[in-house]
A = this chain, B = another copy of it.
């Protein structure tokens, strides 16, 4: 890590070697005009290197004498060691204003899987165990059937009294027993309930106890991720993600359900999701280079629609009132019976779902993150096209889901796009000149705006008074960037020549309105859920963010626009793909599989459409940050500070 000091603000930040100075500045909360995404085209991001060495940053846009003085283009300059950088500002007042306004970026701390605590608590008990057995070969005096021999031995030596063998294992047993003189390794799957049966799902010659693997998978609407887990060490041996093949049949769950209602549609969707799963499995085995015969379980988590489509279960009732899923808990079943390309003894375990819109991915997140064991009142939030909200602690859990709309994924936004190369992902605003500072994914010229960019822009503009609390631009500001285009007011983020698309890229009032609706839906969802259980937002002690989107959210700015309640950023954690985390956790400990049955029952689902207060909460949340600004004291303070 290198220390970067920005002057005249006198702000210090640590960044990894190789980061460019634009990103470092943004992270530090220091504004530098920059609108070409880091390609050196706009030439605006001139900075002076006062101490230390940097790499690059020299450009035709700089005069040789300036280069000689130490000027560089920040977007082209890589940090190689400790460095002191001066940002040229028009006046000392400018510098102090800039300094006062800006706040450094703050993303949620990443909460990793709590694997060591599992071990400490003695809970590292994988649901699958491999046991090496040295049976006595049969002779004339003792020629009991092979299965009986195995079971009797396990009873006697392993104190196993409730065993059941599957037909495929019985089929293998006679030959396998005789391959290595009745020395075999059996794979035992533990029951969820203590009074249940232990299933013998595989038997192999010799001692193969060290090769014991599980697959964990997240079946997302957009992407499918898989991990290969080593059950002896807990390690991840391979990981791969790919787009869910169902994407061709609709972007969101509703369009998938509609497609499934067509003739052969459901069958087709089942086939393509299985095809993706098989591709992911192929890839993780290619990475891990282990024998796929040694896999015993595959744990899958997905939302309710994905779960039902995976199993070829009619999903039409999920999108029609009163929104009834087929099942909550699914029995274990042979993974190969639904087409998964794996040996027939592998057992598929599915995360249970709570309701039509709170699915196995959320339950997995709640289990994986440990929310269900927490003493603290926790808000668990998975933001995507739909936002799922869980509130509670170890004693109780309430959940709901709301449609956030596609704004966070760039949908319904004039220049919206996913967080792909060229997407403006971060933004800051010069409070004096109202010139922008853009950072794009991949440091290339901008193509559009992604979700985190949208949030950051809106927050900055709100704080700087560029927009008001209804998201309307201040028409009085002296900047060519704010203009009316065919009657729609907008702020030009990048001029045509600075972009990849040969058009001005702008943020429009309807874009901001879409964002307000999205964040309003989520916030009012949280509010309503809290009210239903008799609590208020300020009682929340911990926020857990899940989903790909959560990792990029700048917490301060998310609070500024009222997407998240104001809370100490230290109390917000990010778990990434909670669904995959949960699937992996239950591959590693049977405790989770036991607990999840109770947790799922405990998760009280609220249908927002059936909760009258939701609509009034929604209307109140249709402001930036909220109609009741006193709920957001920090934001109020900053907005008021700007006015001085």
Contact = CB atoms under 8 A, between A and B. Distances in A.
A174 interface: yes
Contacts of A174: 313-314, 316-317, 324, 326
Interface string A307-338: 00001111011000111111111110100010
A340 to B, nearest CB: 13
A343 to B, nearest CB: 15
Interface stretch (A46-54, A89-97, A140-148, A230-238): A140-148
A502 interface: no
Nearest to A178: B317
Nearest to A610: B140
Given A145-B326, A324-B146, A311 B171 contact: yes
B330 A170 contact: yes
A216 to B, nearest CB: 21
A139 interface: yes
A114 interface: no
A312 B145 contact: no
A595 interface: no
A247 to B, nearest CB: 24
A195 interface: yes
A331 B145 contact: no
Contacts of A337: 167
A367 interface: no
Interface string A596-613: 000000000001011000
B355 A324 contact: no
A164 interface: yes
A316 B141 CA distance: 19
Nearest to A166: B331
B607 A164 contact: no
- Chief secondary structure at chain A's binding surface: loop
Contacts of A321: 140
A492 interface: no
A457 B142 CA distance: 42
Q: What is the oligomeric copy number?
A: 2
> Which of A178, A314, A337, A609 counts the most chain B CB atoms within 10 A?
A314
> Which of A139, A164, A326, A610 counts the most chain B CB atoms within 10 A?
A326
Interface residues of A, number: 47
A67 interface: no
Interface string A141-164: 111111110000000000000001
A175 interface: yes
* 3 closest A-B pairs by CB: A147-B327, A143-B322, A145-B325
Nearest to A605: B143
B173 A355 contact: no
Contacts of A148: 327-328
A353 interface: yes
A139 B320 CA distance: 11
Nearest to A196: B197
A83 interface: no
Interface of A: 138-148, 164-167, 170-171, 173-175, 178, 195, 311-314, 316-317, 321-331, 333, 337, 353, 355-356, 607, 609-610
B326 A173 contact: yes
A326 B147 contact: yes
Given A170-B327, A171-B313, A607 B143 contact: yes
A47 B148 CA distance: 65
A311 B326 CA distance: 33
A346 to B, nearest CB: 15
Contact of A610 (B141, B173, B329): B141
Given A195-B195, A314-B175, A323 B170 contact: no
A148 B330 CA distance: 11
Nearest to A350: B167
Contacts of A323: 143
Contacts of A331: 164-167
A386 to B, nearest CB: 17
B143 A330 contact: no
Contact of A147 (B164, B329, B355): B329
A170 B312 CA distance: 10
A312 B171 contact: yes
B607 A140 contact: yes
A313 B170 contact: yes
Contacts of A326: 145-147, 170-171, 173-174
B311 A147 contact: no
A545 to B, nearest CB: 27
Contacts of A609: 140
> Which of A140, A167, A321 counts the most chain B CB atoms within 10 A?
A167
Contact of A139 (B141, B171, B322): B322
A330 B167 contact: yes
B143 A327 contact: no
Contacts of A147: 326-329
A599 to B, nearest CB: 15
A480 to B, nearest CB: 53
A313 B171 CA distance: 5
A405 to B, nearest CB: 23
A311 B172 CA distance: 11
Contacts of A144: 324, 328
Nearest to A142: B322
Contacts of A322: 138-140, 142-143
> Which of A138, A142, A144, A145 counts the most chain B CB atoms within 10 A?
A145
Contacts of A328: 144-145, 147-148
A353 B330 CA distance: 33
Given A145-B326, A170-B330, A178-B317, 4 more contacts: A145-B327, A145-B355, A146-B325, A171-B311
Contacts of A329: 147
B145 A353 contact: yes
18 contacts: A139-B322, A140-B321, A140-B322, A141-B610, A143-B356, A145-B328, A146-B326, A147-B328, A165-B327, A165-B331, A166-B331, A170-B311, A170-B327, A171-B311, A171-B314, A174-B314, A174-B316, A174-B324
